[in-house]
Amino acid sequence: MAEIKTRQTDADVNEFIKTFANTEQKREDSFELVKLMQEVTGHPPKMWGASIIGFGKYHYKSDRSRQEGDWPLVGFSPRKAAISLYVFTGDPDHAYLLKDLGKYKMGKACIYVKKLSDIDLNALKRIIRATIDYLEERYGHTQQ
């Protein structure tokens, strides 16, 4: 079984944002997302791998393989093309949460936004809360 490469690290989140976010807008949006996600989750930001900022964590076990590991409850990465938001369960029952979000694109496991001003932050908070509720129900107690 392949080992999970993306793990929580001790890297400095603020330093990562300052050096990795490629525009001033992405840096500002990233610092705003740190505040918003920390407020909603109650967990401090932590680096996961080289480029994901995560909040809290849960332990998962795959239904389709023997893979298991820890993963952030929610997170984001200020990538070059867009900000990747890891905040959505993908559960069809949660699709209604996306209707008020604003301008975004969906990937397989994340939501892409060009800038925070393109989306409704209250809708984002509702998505984050629903995701945490879903993960806690499915996988049990979450951790910092």
Q: Which residues of 58-95 are buried (b: 16+ CB within 10 A; e: fewer)?
A: beeeeeeeeeeeebbbbbbbbbeebbbbbbbbeeeebe
User: Is residue 79 within 8 Å of residue 102, measured between CB atoms?
Assistant: no
- The average confidence (pLDDT) of the chain is 91
* Residues 40-93: tens digit of each pLDDT: 999 999 999 999 999 999 988 777 777 788 999 999 999 999 999 999 988 888
Mind listing the domains of the chain with CATH numbers? 13-139 (3.90.1150)
User: Is residue 107 within 8 Å of residue 83, measured between CB atoms?
Assistant: no
Residue 66 confidence (pLDDT)? 74
User: Average pLDDT for residues 15-40, to the nearest whole number?
Assistant: 97
- CA angle 141/70/85 to nearest 5° reads 95
Smallest CA-to-CA distance from 31 within 47, 51, 50, 45 is with: 45
Residue 143 confidence (pLDDT)? 67
User: Average pLDDT for residues 106-114, to the nearest whole number?
Assistant: 91
Residue 5 has pLDDT above 90, yes or no: no
Contacts of 118 (CB under 8 A, 6+ apart): 102, 103, 104
Residue 8 in tokens: 């929580």
pLDDT confidence bin for 141, thresholds 50/70/90? low
